[in-house]
Amino acid sequence: MSAGATSASDSVSSTQEARISATPLAESLVLLAVLTVVQRLVGFLRGVLFCRWLSPEQLGQWDLLFGFLMLAGPLVVLGVPGTFGRYVEYYNQRQQLRTFLKRTGVVSLVLTILGCAALIVWDRETAKILFNETTSYNTIVVAAITLATVVGFNYLIELFIGMRQMRVVSVLQFVNSLVFAAVGLGLIQFWDATSMAVILSYGIACAVTCVLGGYFLFTKYRILPPETEVATHREFWAKLAPFAAWMWVANLLSNLFLVVDRYMIVHFGGFTPEQAAAEVADYHSSRVVPWLMASVAGLVIGVLLPHLSADWEAGRKREVAESSNLIVKLGSLVFTGGGVAILLAAPWLFGVVFSGKYDGGLAVLPWTVASCAWSSIGGLTLLYLYCAEKAKLVSLLYAVGLTFNICLNFLLLPRLGLEGAVLATAVSNGVTFCVGLSLCKRLGMEVDSSTWLAVLLPMSLGFGLMLAAPIWIVCVWQAWLGHTILSNDEKQKIVAGLTMLRNRYVSRDKSLKPGDA
């Protein structure tokens, strides 16, 4: 072989390595931890100040609008970005990532324009659905414009997570949270303390993040190698469309599951529009801190899915099954412990931080915390279903949870008011968790008796701090010293992972020269 051929071969090899410089799993988790601490701190402070500075009615309207954006974002693009975590690596390995980006980008853009235009045309009808009145149609117009930026932001985040570019995801998430907090609090203080100011600031934050994310994407796109073979549109969409369709259904059902209780309060709680918004505000105040757990679980799922998918593609399905089981058990201990901490801080949070404005939120907090813990841990079971390409079972799972939620709300909401809605959602989350774990077991996931304990543990949160704290302490003690919750092999995996993580960063620090800092 000639020197020129060798050089060309090295160049091709170097180019292929640069296709996606994926962040390793250990480093991804470190970045995730930093992201979670900093970004969630900003988000928490923002949420607290929104609760303090907005009236209950306007806070309730913002909660309903935000839930609508989270529902409509994946809905209008037919689930296409939801496929990135599963298929970015697939097309990357086949050197077809350029085609993947072009085709999914064009389709998402066209669908976004059509969806936002529909909202503007039918603004009064949308206001009736969201608020049970038609006088807030101007807010719907602003929400439609914001929706376009939300879709772009979601597209970029899903794409970079699928590419395992957690440094980029960390920057985008942090910038979005920071801009949203700065612009939102500024508009409330110096312009208008209404839900329209908040929704406008969220749109601005997503637009800024889209510009920044577009720059990062352009730099990554430039170094992708030329494609030697391009799949036809028929072949491409035949592969992607079924998974996207089921992801679309799953996103629709899951997001409906997240917001249906608030909309049932608006339409079936027997309240005036103003009273309903105030009830939703009480519910929102009880979720400000607990919902951090669910958002952390979502980030963990986004980070782990590409890595578990890569193991699955490599034929290491048993390792994926064992890892998924361990993730669920650790998630149960971590999120239940988070719930205990929230209940411990509740009197100070509602009495001092929220200035005693939301006593209704304090009353329903225990079951709100239990609900969010169940939702967070149950979401981790989806990792195995997605790796097994069983997105349709995820849709079935959320359909079951949504049905339970609606039926229980019809039964409990007229009798117990807000407490009934919260209790209905908590029970529905627990049922969804059980069904999801059963489906995973049928598909080959390692599910032992201690895993089922993870289903029951968050229930203790609903009965208050005095019961939940001792039970959680006993479970943590048993997990560390006993064998009931974690086996010796699982403990060894945890220790090995922590050791690898420490060695990676200790060796990196030692390899730096004094002048490198």
Which letter, b or e, does each residue of 439-451 get, where b requires 16 or more Cβ atoms within 10 Å of its Cβ?
A: bbbeeebbbeebb
Instruction: Tell me whether residue 440 is in a domain.
Output: yes
Give the closest residue to 149 by CA, choosing from 85, 87, 201: 201
Out of 231, 262, 295, a domain closes at 231
- For helices 465-481 and 317-348, give the axis angle rounded to 10 degrees: 140
Amino acid 3: pLDDT:
43
> Mean pLDDT in the chain?
82
Same domain, residue pair 144 and 27? yes
CA–CA distance, 8 with 15 (Å, rounded to integer): 10
Amino acid 98: pLDDT:
81
Same domain, residue pair 209 and 261? no
pLDDT tens figures, 131-158: 888 777 788 889 999 999 999 999 999 8
Give the closest residue to 81 by CA, choosing from 96, 99, 100: 100
pLDDT score of 130 more than 60:
yes
Identify which has the larger pLDDT, 24 or 162. 162
Q: What's the maximum distance between 2 C-alpha atoms anywhere in the chain? A: 84
Q: Taking the CB of residue 7, how many other CB atoms lie within 10 A of it?
A: 10
* Lookup result for tokens 């239940």: 336
Amino acid 501: pLDDT:
56
Amino acid 465: pLDDT:
93
Rg of the Cα atoms in the chain: 23
Averaged pLDDT for residues 108-130: 90
Give the closest residue to 32 by CA, choosing from 304, 413, 341: 304
261 burial via Cβ count (<10 Å: 0-12, 13-18, 19+)? buried
Identify which has the larger pLDDT, 482 or 407. 407
Give the closest residue to 370 by CA, choosing from 293, 438, 437: 293
Out of 231, 262, 279, a domain closes at 231
CA–CA distance, 106 with 66 (Å, rounded to integer): 26
- How many Cα atoms occupy the beta-carbon half-sphere of 352 within 13 Å? 5
Averaged pLDDT for residues 229-258: 80
Averaged pLDDT for residues 339-345: 94
Amino acid 6: pLDDT:
41
Q: Tell me the two tokens of residue 75.
A: 């809905």
Q: Tell me the two tokens of residue 368.
A: 């709100």
Which letter, b or e, does each residue of 40-57 get, where b requires 16 or more Cβ atoms within 10 Å of its Cβ?
A: bebbbebbbbbbeebbbb
pLDDT score of 1 more than 90:
no
DSSP letter, residue 2? -
Tell me the torsion sign for CA atoms 299, 25, 85, 171: positive
Distances (CA, A) of 489 to 308, 445, 482: 19, 16, 13
Amino acid 30: pLDDT:
60
Q: 340 by DSSP, 3-state: which?
A: helix
Same domain, residue pair 442 and 328? yes
Q: What is the rounded end-to-end Cα distance, in angstroms, of the chain?
A: 43
CA–CA distance, 419 with 285 (Å, rounded to integer): 14
Same domain, residue pair 120 and 76? yes
CA–CA distance, 301 with 284 (Å, rounded to integer): 24
Instruction: Tell me whether residue 120 is in a domain.
Output: yes
Q: Which residues contact 14 (CB under 8 A, 6 or more apart)?
A: none
Instruction: Tell me whether residue 6 is in a domain.
Output: no
Same domain, residue pair 25 and 174? yes
pLDDT score of 274 more than 90:
no
State the amino acid at position 465 in one-letter form: L
Instruction: Tell me whether residue 513 is in a domain.
Output: no
Instruction: Tell me whether residue 78 is in a domain.
Output: yes
Same domain, residue pair 260 and 219? no
Amino acid 503: pLDDT:
66
pLDDT score of 94 more than 50:
yes
Alpha helices in 269-352 (DSSP H): 273-287, 291-313, 317-348
Same domain, residue pair 208 and 321? no
22 near 85, Cβ under 8 Å? no
Distances (CA, A) of 312 to 48, 308, 382: 42, 6, 14
Instruction: Tell me whether residue 470 is in a domain.
Output: yes
Same domain, residue pair 74 and 214? yes
Same domain, residue pair 398 and 470? yes
State the amino acid at position 509 in one-letter form: D
Q: What string of DSSP letters covers 400-452?
A: HHHHHHHHHHHHHHHHHTHHHHHHHHHHHHHHHHHHHHHHHHHTT----HHHH
Amino acid 205: pLDDT:
96
Amino acid 344: pLDDT:
95
pLDDT score of 514 more than 70:
no
Same domain, residue pair 489 and 437? yes
Amino acid 9: pLDDT:
42
Q: Which residues contact 49 (CB under 8 A, 6 or more apart)?
A: 185, 188
383 near 301, Cβ under 8 Å? yes
295 burial via Cβ count (<10 Å: 0-12, 13-18, 19+)? middle
pLDDT tens figures, 255-264: 888 889 999 9
Out of 178, 201, 231, a domain closes at 231
Amino acid 283: pLDDT:
94
Q: Which domain holds residue 360?
A: 251-502
Same domain, residue pair 76 and 157? yes
Amino acid 36: pLDDT:
60
Instruction: Tell me whether residue 1 is in a domain.
Output: no
pLDDT tens figures, 177-231: 999 999 999 999 999 888 899 999 999 999 999 999 999 888 877 777 776 677 7
- How does residue 506 score in pLDDT terms, banded at 50, 70 and 90? low
393 near 445, Cβ under 8 Å? no
198 near 50, Cβ under 8 Å? yes
Between 1-10, 39-48, 212-221, the lowest mean confidence (pLDDT) is in 1-10
Instruction: Tell me whether residue 87 is in a domain.
Output: yes
Same domain, residue pair 432 and 486? yes
Total structural domains in the chain?
Answer: 2
411-415 contacts: CB < 8 A, separation 24 or more? 413/264, 413/265, 413/268, 413/269, 414/268, 414/269, 414/270
pTM for the model stands at: 0.77
CA–CA distance, 338 with 347 (Å, rounded to integer): 16
